[in-house]
Amino acid sequence: MQVLELKDIQHKDTPIYYRRFYNGTIVMEIMQKNVERSIEFSIETTPLGDKNINVIFNQPVDYPMVPLLKEVKSYLDEFDRKGGLPV
């Protein structure tokens, strides 16, 4: 399982500056097949600077959720650090 791309990213406006909400489409390679799924996710920055990332898949995925969520959260964290998410 590998995350290939995050596309069609839309930022949802919120009055709380330390919580950011997004939705988009994630492209993953699962068992040598490219799979696209619609997701919603949020990134919350704690007072200590840590990030809590929550992910919701809007469509079912034929893969165990624990390793899938771990990989997606890791990808989103790196994508955010590189400045890929709209503010």
Q: Give the CATH number of the domain where residue 49 resides.
A: 3.10.450
Instruction: Provide the 8-state DSSP code for 47.
Output: T
Is residue 33 situated within a structural domain?
yes
The count of structural domains within the chain is 1
**Segment 49-69 mean pLDDT:** 94
- Give residue 69's identity as a one-letter amino acid code: L
Give the residue with greater pLDDT, 66 vs 17: 66
- Give residue 9's identity as a one-letter amino acid code: I
Task: Answer whether residue 12 shows pLDDT above 90.
Answer: yes
pLDDT at res. 76: 95
pLDDT, one tens digit per residue, over 31-55 is 999 999 999 999 999 999 999 999 9
Domain of residue 27 covers 2-81
Task: Answer whether residue 60 shows pLDDT above 80.
Answer: yes
- Give residue 81's identity as a one-letter amino acid code: R
Rounded to whole angstroms, the Cα distance separating 28 from 26 reads: 6
Which of these, 73, 5, 8, lies nearest to 44 by C-alpha position? 73
Is residue 86 situated within a structural domain?
no
